Structure 1
Amino acid sequence: MAKGFYISKNMGLAGLLIGAVAVVIIIALAAVYDKEKTKNQNKPVDGVAMLTTASPTTSSTLSTPKDPWEHYRLPDSLSPVSYNITLWPRLVVNASTGLYIFTGQSAVVFQCKKDTDLIVIHCNKLNLTLLNGHHARLTGLDGATAPTVKTSWLQVKTEYLVIQLNGKLTAGKSYRLSTDFQGELADDLKGFYRSEYTEDGGKKVVATSQMQATFARKAFPCFDEPAMKAVFHITLIHQRGTVALSNGRDVETVNSTIDGTEVTMTRFEPTKRMSTYLLAFIVSDFDHITGSIENNNVRIWARRKAIAEGHGNYALNVTGPMLKFFQRYYNASYPLSKSDQIALPDFNAGAMENWGLITYRETALLYDPAISSVGNKERVLTVVAHELAHMWFGNLVTLRWWNDLWLNEGFASYVEYLGADYAEPTWNIKEQTILNDVHKVFAVDALASSHPLSRKEEEVNQPDEISEMFNTISYSKGAAVLRMLSEFLTEPVFARGLSSYLNEFAFNNTVYSDLWDHLQKVRMSLPHTVHDIMNRWILQMGFPVVTIDTATGHITQKHFLLDPDSVVDRPSPYNYTWLVPIKWMKGGVERDPAWWVLANLNVSGYYRVNYDMDNWERLLNQLTTDHTVIPLINRAQIVDDAFNLARAKVINTTLALRTTRYLSQERDYIPWESALRNLNYYILMFDRGQAYGVLQVGSHYNMIYHSFTVAKDLSSYNQINAISFACRMGVERCRVLTSDWFREWMLNPDHNPIHPNLKTTVYCNAIAAGGVAEWDFAWQMFKNATVATEAAKLRSSLACTKVPWLLNRYLDYSLDPAKIRKQDCTSTINYIAGNVVGMPLAWDFIRARYGGGSFSFSNLINGVTRRFSTEFELKQLKQFKEDNARVGFGSGTLALEQAIERTTANIKWVAENQEHVMKWLANECT
């Protein structure tokens, strides 16, 4: 391996291009490769460059409220040690209130860190029973004398129970605070809530929970911050015949009678020291299947019918291997005595990594090989891997505050591919991270309204601000930069540093820089510290485009913005320069006219690459001549880089379109998916105007359809893409084929002839080509569906109809929980907005009903405005922002700003490129 070295910003490569054996060294970061790195035929060469760096800037101190209970962060005077919690959810409606309720008792033992006469503890939407005239009872422990309660109240805005004492608590002493309370077991998918489903003709109710990020306080009074770890002693009282689950193993189950009601009491082993957001309580009549790993039970729970039909088998089969993989990868044993995973009919997130009791949507855990597609199977695999990765990273060691959520979620989003690849080694699933994370987040991080991975703690305080952190930047950019870090350190070195980090901070909290410290301890010889390298990627937003001129050897980097005219007003401590790791390969020799340079080998770095025009031409020639010489992932990246560089006016649009010419020879999914996603942008911009007719030129897209469906060596994903894209572009053969299949099903509803992998495509296109009869049939099949993945396919496809009144009716259905589950409301509206006919209907629907910020609003505004590309739509967006400024947009505030920015960029792009695109396509298709 070549050693690393520095090159300056303006230093040329000309000297390196001269000689018998010359190489091209691009801007780089990692220097000396560890001996553990495997050699290959096209050796990547690594060098180092440090570009101009600005001095870090300081920000002014934010003003803070006066009284402790007006702050959204807890005072540092108290620290919880343990909780003793008993909860009793009622699975029938309360006769006096007409509500589903739960009752509970909680006793939290805490240590006083600083003398104080004030107790501030989180409590939200709980009715507290008065104890001796107050909301809680305080007891001193180990000889400590507890002051009496002076007054207590609920601070609704900041979600606190505030207790003012007549005397002071003493630093170093321990106390116990006891509360009795009642709460609603609502269907709001937050805290301790209820889920309902129908089985064997009857309605059944599940009491379940979702505590992340700030909802544990809705289940019991608690110090609801991730750094406030404690041990939890949990007891659940539940209806006879049901089963209770929590984070630990059940250690005692006894039948009892309370106030004339026959119940079962289940007590669980004390948890490890853990954060409140990882707690889980569930009462249901679910069944399970069991496996084991090193004497620990592994169980998959779900509705009894789903378990009986084997829908949990695949998840169970891959859980064992993945747990073994992560134990080896982390060099740390699984920290708990059991691993439960449960599929819930109603669950807002995809899954939640509750320690020892992971909760999932049914579509993310259950797989029916007779009905579900290969995509459904892959989703189960990757989501299970993601959640199991958290059992160590996030749960055993937890970030101190939500401003560093990116490290928790970004890490799991990266290593999920490692765990999934171990369980299914023939799938080559690690390549999917380029499509699912890197390309996905590039689109968001190229906006001037993006934000750094890590924010300052004072910028993330309120629940809405915390919710806003659960976004593509945290998950996908976090995964991309950590993958980059692992690549240049090499995976064995990265894993050793990770193991050191986990073992030192087990059962405690950290900040992101603690991981850098441990990676630094086990690093190879690097020209910069891990801190110097990585802080540039996480403390400033965005990413660079690296421009390489192979004729002169000049190399530059620049902050990449999708709209180059946009104004970046967020200050950067590094003046938007990065230390950029580059692996490269070359084709031919320097005197060969076909000689070319390809940077960012296997897209190991988080940046885009631009070349001089001659090198672009040589790369395009290589793709046309023998595309297999260029690595698979880089073929996808060449296409994606070119299209986005063109959108940013770095290269011309014609050059980007030319990257698709070779695709008639391409048989791999990832490059095709990259191309289709970029062409989809053109469709979104043009499908309401005259340019769309050119896009639909039959001969060009018939060629695509034919090349996919005739070839015998294509993956099922490619077949799905081919049929879907051909139908979308109006290929008559496709419309007839999908309509015939769907009609055959309509004639015999008990026998669905459509292959599981093609169901979404066939359903959608048949409904789009049909009318009321097709829609009503699909709606009936949706209502009858007992497998969640089948219901999900039908639900998305119902939005494909071109009949406006059906779409308006479907929008109304989305707000009726009896028709569309609350967890599916947002995605249903977005499906309708994805339909060119449905988009204005969905936009009007949202504006007419908007009443305040919500967790789902960011997803709604992103989905509904994807097509916006006119001055009128921009005006509407700005007016919507102005009209609702008083109400606010909660966690969707940033999403609204990004929608305005994207719309502005779309307007410019259409004006500048529509004619060029039409002309090129017309020439290509004749």
Structure 2
Amino acid sequence: MCNKASSNPNRVVLPTNVTPSHYNLTITPDFKEFTFDGYVEIDLSIHEPTKTVQINAKDLTLKSTSIETAGNTHEPVSTTHDEHHDTTTFTFEHELAKGSAVLRISFVGILSDKMAGFYRSSYKDAEGNTKYMGVTQFEATDARRAFPCWDEPAAKATYTIALVVDTDLVALSNMPVESITAVESDKKTVHFEKTPIMSTYLVAWAIGEFEYIETTTTKLEKPVTCRVYTLPGLKEQGRFALEITPKILEYFSEIFGTAYPLPKLDHLAVPDFDAGAMENWGLVTYRTVALLFDEKTSDLRFKEQVAGTVAHEIAHQWFGNLVTMEWWDHLWLNEGFATWVGTLAVDHLFPAWDTWSTFVVDDMQRGISLDSLRSSHPIEVPVADPHEIHQIFDAISYSKGASVIRMLSNWLTVDVFLAGIRRYLKKHEYENATTDDLWNALSEESKVDVREFMNTWTRVIGIPILNVTEADGIVTVEQHRFLSTNDVKAEEDETVWWVPLGVHPKPASIVDPNQTLKTRSLSFEVPEGAYLFNKHYGGVFRTNYPPSAISRIGKAILDGSDLVGLSDRAGLIADIASLSKSGHTATSNLLDLVQYFKNEETYVVWELLAGRVGEIASIFADDERVNQGIKHFQRNLVDRMVNKLGWEFPEGEDYLTSRLRNVILRSAGRAGHEATVAEAKRRFALFVSDPAHDSILHPSIRQTAFEIVLSQGGEEEFRHVLKYFHAAPKQDQQVIALLALGFVQQPELIAEVQALAISESVRPQDIFYVLAGLSANPASRRSTWEWVKANWTTLANRYKSSMSMLGACVKYPLSQSSDVSLIKEVKEFFADKDTKDFQRALDQALEGLDVNSAWLQREQEGLSEWLSVNKY
């Protein structure tokens, strides 16, 4: 290993004296023994004479190795393995001369079920027999599990791949099939065309009993064949994904100024899949629920999920595949941009969905919330060791990254921003790039030094809070670092961010037409009446208004003023809720604000209203007075909308109204709204009594109905939902059942749900659905943490190749708890355990516990008093 010269001199990477240019790879899987044979020839450039060649390899048995250089073949005199760094070093007797060489390695690998490298995924056929497919998942550093390689993003090369498979199986890879040759009576070798130059983590192949549906782009100079591959009987569920694929390819080809460079783009649904999806060039792989959607039986939310995921992965074909980050420090260039431009594409295709408002509620809040913790990290986070990489695939790289791009693109204008992106892609296509390269392209296009004001957003941890004060018609805004613990130390508060203020109505006294705050504070006059900062909620910061300003904004909302648009209303709730949780303002101020929303009828705003008020009830679950008072408040809040929307889904109803109905009924049910609970029970009884009554619970409210009856019922209801889970033919139906099962109240049933999480009935990837339900249920939180402790060895072994999943097992049971005693208990439990691969998740769980417990202790008395005064 060596420390490569870079912006991070501590990186642990391979030596650069030998580099690859082409891999000729053959893989032969054995689905009976769960192994695979491999043979690879790697064309090399030896840049200086050397006796050693070092590569990455993990869980591979190397059977033979030789290197050919200058017409001579040499075998290594020694081969050593470094298990910690996943490297193998070949030492040769004589120095290898500078020039070209070919490294040949024969090897054997394990076709495991750990969802990493080249692995197997199981499924049942129509007769109930267990079958297997094989698929790859290489990001971030698991190509080395499938073949010996230079497993780093900057070590780009071309690939020719051949798969030796049974004659009745379909083989897929990044490129189209070039030829098929018979091997023995029951085998064939499928040869694929040579790939463009690319990174190892984007190499992919899959083998199985696949079927497909197909279409072709019509607006590109070179048509692209688009397919959705599935297991038998599922292909029609890929119809929606197939319909949008050519539209997205054509849209991105236009706005990026570069056509999609491959002749085909396949999507593949995989039953067992760790991530949501993976952008392998030309062969994108997905969890089933992220790709397949049934118009008749699927919850509508999965349709938006499919659209967003497909758009995100197609965006990667340019941002990540065509131009690749130079090292994992710059992961956000892949994920933040794909999240932003994926949203842009969905908004382009489905403007009625109001996707950018949903972005404010979902992605922005995820990113801001995580970055409000000390245990967060900068967007550009130095990654030294590959073992650290998976821990930064989080809401900072994705959601905060996308939010910062949205803020910058709005300020520069989207047209100028995209012109800069075209410049960036053209300059660095088929190469690697850094964040500075992006800033350079945007600066050249906009004639503004983007780096000067954006480095604080990407290289510094945290976000600002703007504290607003009023005096004699003058408003002063002052920025500081925002922490959810509300205990910023002086040394943590040295950053002065560049902040687009977005003041509306625009004050005449602000000379800067772009209204940016570049200093610690700024004062100016504002017109009389209500005013807003962060108009359209485009800036990545919290705004802390004085009570008088909130009152004026609230009255403007009540009056239906155009001043406070949809994103503004959503952002205001998000900010005040976060500020009340952190102690910057009283939680009663949030409840006062909510009452101004009694005429609100939009999905996006209600998602936040219901969620933030529900969070109070959840965190204060052990305070009977506050918990019951807040639920009374919730029931009053939702009553009008429950009566307005009801349980039926009229034909032709718009998408957002359908989503709103579920939000309202879920909030009403969790608050114990009598009519909602009664109707849920009535419909559930009909639903389980006769298959003919299937339509009585529309797929988009089925999970909500299940939650309500389980939280209000007993074993009979539990058995019905458990039966539904086991019998569900589609994975999205299984998901809603798993999420709902966690809402049971009886200890013996809670224990059964916990056991289900690691049973053979639940795919390992789906454990977090079970934990999410159990964590949202106050009756099961504590016991779920106890269950995690009791089953830690099992969990650690099960997810040793998927540390992000293990981190979720730590975070979920603690995420909504306010029990301060758990902080010490959690620390003691992990004191003698190796936590390096999920340390960030553990730190964030502990800090979240600290925030929740402080909120509870600080606000119990004040909330109880407010509820009494307001007769709740």
Aligned to 2:673: 731
Given the alignment of the two structures, is residue 332 of structure 1 paired with residue 254 of structure 2, yes or no? no
Pairing 1:312-331 to 2, within 5 Å after superposition:
312-331=238-257
Give the SS at the match of 2:52. Answer: strand
Letter in structure 2 aligned against 1:843: W
User: What secondary structure is seen at the aligned counterpart in 2 of 1:157?
Assistant: coil
Give TM-score, length-normalised by structure 1: 0.86
Letter in 2 for 1:421: D
Q: Alignment partner for residue 22 of structure 2, among 66, 82, 107?
A: 82
Residue number in structure 2 paired with 1:443: 369
Pairwise mapping of residues 562-641 of structure 1 onto structure 2 (< 5 A)?
A: 562-565=484-487, 575-586=494-505, 595-641=529-575
Match of 1:138 in 2: 67
Q: Return the offset for 1:109.
A: 1.0
* 2:144 pairs with one of 217, 233, 257: 217
Q: CA separation in 1, counterparts of 2:546 and 2:779?
A: 42
Q: Could you tell me which of 281, 298, 306 is aligned with 2:234?
A: 306
Asked whether 1:374 is paired with 2:327, we answer no
Moved more, 159-168 or 316-325: 159-168
1:487-511 per-position Cα deviation (integer Å, ceiling 9, x unaligned): 1111011101101111111111011
Asked whether 1:273 is paired with 2:197, we answer yes
Contact preservation (8 Å) 2:8, 2:384 = no
Task: Give the deviation of 1:578 after TM superposition.
Answer: 0.4
Q: Deviations over 1:772-824 (max 9, x none)?
A: 222222222212212111111112112221122122122222222x2111111
Task: Determine which of 277, 287, 291 is the counterpart of 1:365.
Answer: 291
Q: 796, 808, 819: which one pairs with 1:870?
A: 819
Once residues 92 and 391 of structure 2 are traced to their aligned partners in structure 1, the CA distance between those partners, rounded to angstroms, is 36
CA distance in 2, matches of 1:483, 1:702: 36
Match of 1:560 among 466, 482, 501: 482
Encode CA deviations 1:193-215: one digit per residue, 9 max, x unaligned.
00111121122210111001111
Q: Distance in 1 between matches of 2:475 and 2:707?
A: 51
Supply the AA of the counterpart residue of 2:94.
G
Check 1:656–1:187 CA distance in 2 against 1; reply closer, same or farther (3 A cut).
same
> What is the Cα deviation at residue 416 of structure 1?
0.9
**Rounded Cα–Cα distance in structure 2 between residues aligned with 1:322 and 1:681:** 37
2:415 aligned residue: 492
* Cα distance, 1:690 vs structure 2: 1.6
Per the alignment, residue 919 of structure 1 pairs with: 865
Tell me whether 1:240 sits opposite 2:167 in the alignment. Answer: yes
User: Aligned partners of 2:293 and 2:340: how far apart in 1?
Assistant: 23
How far apart are 1:899 and its partner, in Å? Answer: 1.8
Q: 2:464 is matched with which residue: 544, 556, 561?
A: 544
C-alpha spacing 1:880/1:296, structure 2 compared with 1 (3 Å): same
Q: Is the 8 A contact 2:618 2:776 kept in 1?
A: no
Counterpart for residue 516 of structure 2: none
Aligned partner of 1:168 among 67, 91, 95 = 95
Q: Find the counterpart in structure 1 of residue 774 from structure 2.
A: 832
Q: Deviations over 1:206-246 (max 9, x none)?
A: 01110011110000101100111100100011111110000
Relative to 1, partners in 2 of residues 1:392 and 1:484: Cα closer, same or farther, differing over 3 Å? same
Match status 1:791 vs 2:739:
no
CA distance in 1, matches of 2:453, 2:198: 32
1:716 correspondence with 2:658: yes
Asked whether the equivalents of residues 735 and 769 of structure 2 are also in contact (C-alpha less than 8 Å), the reply is no
2:829 to 873, 876, 880: 880
Alignment of 1:4-15 (within 5 A): none
Q: Secondary structure at the match of 1:323?
A: helix
1:287 aligns with 2:211: yes
Question: Per the alignment, in what secondary structure is the counterpart of residue 305 of structure 1?
Answer: coil
Q: What is the one-letter code of the residue matched to 2:535? A: L
1:842 aligns with one of 784, 787, 790: 784
Letter in 1 for 2:66: R
Per-residue CA distance 1:748-791 (angstroms, 9 max, x = gap): 14642210110110112122222222222222221221211111
SS at 1:554's partner residue? strand
Which residue in 1 is equivalent to 2:649? none
| 2:569 aligned partner, one-letter code | R
Distance between the aligned counterparts of 1:423 and 1:119, measured in 2? 50
Q: Counterparts of 1:97-108 in structure 2 under 5 Å? A: 100-108=34-42
Pick from 112, 124, 139: which aligns with 1:186?
Answer: 112
Superposed CA deviations along residues 606-628 of structure 1, whole A, max 9, x for unmatched, are 11112334322211221222255
1:857, distance to aligned residue in structure 2 (A): 2.4
For residue 342 of structure 1, give the secondary structure of its aligned residue in structure 2.
Answer: strand
Corresponding residue of 2:394: 471
Q: Look up the match of 1:691.
A: 625
Partner of 2:711: 768
Distance 2:705 2:293 in 1: 20
Q: Counterparts of 2:15 and 2:372 in 1: how far apart (Å)?
A: 38
- The 1:270/1:414 distance shift into structure 2, 3 A limit, reads same
Q: Which residue of 1 aligns with 2:452?
A: 532
User: For 2:754 and 2:490, how far apart are their aligned partners in 1?
Assistant: 37
- Structure 2 unaligned blocks of 5 or more: 1-5, 510-524, 647-653
For 1:182 and 1:198, the matched residues in 2 are separated by: 27
Distance 1:919 1:589 in 2: 42
Structure 2 contact 634–671 (Cα < 8 Å) conserved: no
Mean alpha-carbon deviation: is it higher for 722-731 or for 650-659? 650-659
Distance in 2 between the 1:605 and 1:639 partners? 15
Q: How high is the sequence identity, in percent, across the aligned residues?
A: 28
Distance in 1 between the 2:658 and 2:72 partners?
A: 70
- Please state whether the residue corresponding to 2:150 is helix, strand or coil: coil
The Cα offsets for residues 446-473 of structure 1, whole Å up to 9 and x where unpaired, read as 11221111123xx43132x011111111
Query: More relative contact order in 1 or in 2 (CA 8 Å, sep 6+)?
Result: 1
User: Structure 1 residue 404 and structure 2 residue 324: aligned?
Assistant: no
Q: What is the identity, as a one-letter code, of the residue corresponding to 1:807?
A: I
User: Per-residue deviation at 1:389?
Assistant: 0.4
What amino acid is the match of 1:276? T
- Do the aligned partners of 1:315 and 1:380 also contact (CA within 8 Å) in 2? yes
Secondary structure of the equivalent of 1:665? coil
The one-letter code matched in structure 2 to 1:798 is L
The aligned amino acid for 2:780 is: G
Gaps of 5+ in 1: 1-59, 65-70, 95-99
Alignment partner for residue 422 of structure 1, among 334, 348, 353? Answer: 348
Q: What secondary structure does 1:739 align onto?
A: helix
Please tell me the residue identity of whatever aligns with 1:810: V
In 2: Cα distance, 1:501 partner to 1:149 partner = 43
- Partners of 2:683 and 2:325 in 1: how far apart? 51
Within-5 A mapping of 1:841-860: 841-851=783-793, 852=796, 854-860=803-809
How many Å separate the matches in 1 of 2:66 and 2:591?
A: 71
Shift of the 383–709 alpha-carbon distance from structure 1 to 2, 3 Å rule, reads: farther
Which secondary structure state, in structure 2, belongs to the residue aligned with residue 354 of structure 1?
A: coil
- 1:754 and 1:567 map into 2 onto residues whose CA distance is 52
Partner SS, residue 177 of structure 1 = strand
Q: Secondary structure at the match of 2:261?
A: coil
d(CA) in 2 for partners of 1:673, 1:619: 20
The answer for the alignment partner of 1:667 in structure 2 is 601
* Moved >4 Å (runs of 4+): 60-64, 144-148, 566-569, 587-594, 696-700, 711-714
Partner letter of residue 547 of structure 1?
A: N
Q: TM-score with structure 2 length normalisation?
A: 0.91
**Residue type matched to 1:747 in 2?**
S
Contact persistence 1:684–1:866 (CA under 8 A): no
| SS of 1:217 mapped into structure 2 | helix
8 A Cα contact 1:855 1:890, kept in partner: no
Structure 1: distance between partners of 2:790 and 2:345? 45
